[in-house]
Amino acid sequence: MEGHERNENRIGDMLQFVAPGTPLRDGIDNVLRAKTGGLIVIGYGKEVQQLVDGGFHIQSEFTPAHLYELAKMDGALILNDEGTEILYANAQLMPDPDIISTETGMRHRTAERVAKQTGHLVIAISQRRNVITLYKGPVRYSLQDIGVILTKANQAIQTLEKYKLVHDQSITNLGAMEFENMVSFSEVIQVIHRIEMVLRIKREILNYVNELGTEGRLIQLQLTELVSNIEEEASLLLKDYSKKPDYEPYYILRKMQEESGTELLADEQVLKLLGYASGTKLSDMIYPRGYRIMHRIPRLPSLIIEHLVERFGTLNDVVQASVKELVEVDGVGEVRAKKICDGLERIQEQLFVDRHL
Ligand SMILES: Nc1ncnc2c1ncn2[C@@H]1O[C@H](COP(=O)(O)OP(=O)(O)OP(=O)(O)O)[C@@H](O)[C@H]1O
C-alpha cells in the first residue's frame, strides 16, 4: 500500500476511535474543558510496557468521569486496546530520546515519540492551548473545532455535487458514444479522471464524517445519496475497458486511488493500470465489452451478462445479435432475449436524449 493511503487509513481509524459521541471523546472533552491537560496511550502491548515507569495500576472500567478525575494527576494514562478500561494512571513514559520530534513541550514530544516507537495511538490534550492532538506511528493529527469541520464538510458536499453532475454527464455521453462505436481511449480516460475526482472528494468527506461522529450523520446521509454506487459503476467501466477480460476491477480501482496523490493520474498511468502498452495512442478506438450498459437492463443477472460477454465479446456485437443468436447463450430463453433487445434499445434512446443536455 502506498504511504499516503496508509496514513489516510490511520487517520480514519484514529478519528473514528475518538469521534464525538464516543465515551472516550466525552472524557477527552471534559479534560480539555477542565484545563488539566492529559496524555493517554491506547493499548498496553509489550512495546508500551517497556516504556512505562512507575504509576498506579488501576484496572478500572473506562468512564468519561474516571478519565477526567485521573487526568488530574501528573503523567500518562494507559488504556486497553479497545479503550474500555483504564489500566494505569500517573505513569511516566520514557520513549527513546533519539526519536525525532517536532514538538516543543514535553507532553507532546513524549506523545509523538511513544507513537512512533510503538505504533500505538497516543492522545495529547494540551493544558494551555485548548487542542487535542492524535499521534499514531508517524502520523500526527490535530482535532479541529466541530463547527469548523462541519463548515468544511458542507463545502465539500457542495463540491461533490458539482463533480457528480459533471461525472454523470460524461458517463451519459460515453454511453451514447458506445452505441455509436465512437469511443477512443481519450474519452475513457477522461471519464476515469472524473471518477478519480469524485472518489477523492468522497474520501475527504469520509474523514470529516469520522471526525464528526454522531454530529456527522446528516453529512453521511448526503454522501450516501450522492455517491453510494460510484465504486460499482467504476468497476463495471474498468471491466468494459481493461485490456484483458480477467482483470480484477476493484484491484485496479484501489491501485488508482493509491497512485493518485495530490494531482490527477497521468493518462499513461491510467493506460498502464488498464493493461495497455505505453505507446498506445489516445485517439485509437476502443470497444466496450458492455458490462456497464447491460447492467442497466432490468432484472438481467450478472451471470447472464458474463455469458453474453463471453459469447459476443463487445457491446456492439450484443446489440447486433438477433433473438435467435441470443437464445444460444447459456441461461437466455426467448423471453429474456427479447427483453435484452428491448432493454438495449430503450437505454440507447434514453442516452441519446440525455447526452449534451
Ligand atoms: N514522559 C512523560 N511521561 C508522562 N507524562 C509526561 C511526560 N512528559 C510530560 N508529561 C506530562 O505533561 C505535563 C506537561 O508538560 P509540558 O508543559 O512540558 O507539556 P506541553 O507539551 O507543553 O503540553 P501543554 O500544552 O499541555 O502545556 C507534565 O506535567 C506531565 O504531566
Q: What is the pLDDT along the chain (357 residues), one digit of tens a residue?
A: 456 666 777 788 899 999 999 999 999 999 999 999 999 999 999 999 999 998 999 999 999 999 999 999 999 999 999 999 999 999 999 999 999 999 999 999 999 999 999 999 999 999 998 899 999 999 999 998 889 999 999 999 999 999 999 999 999 999 999 999 999 999 999 999 999 999 999 999 999 999 999 999 999 999 999 998 999 999 999 999 999 988 899 999 988 888 877 788 899 999 999 999 988 999 999 999 999 999 999 999 999 999 999 999 999 999 999 999 999 999 999 999 999 999 999 999 999 999 976
76-79 and 38-42 beta bridge pairing: parallel
CA distance 357 to 352: 10
pLDDT of residue 335: 96
CA distance 171 to 357: 13
pLDDT of residue 231: 93
Integer CA distances (angstroms), 219 to 21, 181, 205, 353, in order? 16, 40, 8, 33
CA nearest neighbour of 173 among 159, 160, 161, 183: 183
pLDDT of residue 4: 62
Which among 31, 96, 107, 126 is the best mutation to test ligand 1's pocket, defined by most ligand atoms within 8 Å of the CB? 107
Cβ(93) – ligand 1 distance below 6 Å: yes
pLDDT of residue 277: 94
Conformational region of residue 35, where left means phi above 0, alpha means psi within -120 to 50, and beta covers everything else: left
Protein residue whose Cα sits closest to atom 4 of ligand 1: 75
Determine whether the annotation assigns residue 109 to a binding site: yes
Sign of the CA dihedral running 42, 47, 53, 58: positive
pLDDT of residue 3: 60
Give distance in angstroms: CA of 39 to centre of ligand 1.
8
Helical packing angle, 334-354 and 146-179, nearest 10°: 110
Sheet strands (E) in 126-275: 132-136, 139-142
Cβ(39) – ligand 1 distance below 6 Å: yes
Give distance in angstroms: CA of 72 to centre of ligand 1.
12
Query: pTM of the entire structure?
Result: 0.80
- Does ipTM surpass 0.85 in this model? yes
In this structure, what C-alpha cell is assigned to residue 260? 493518485
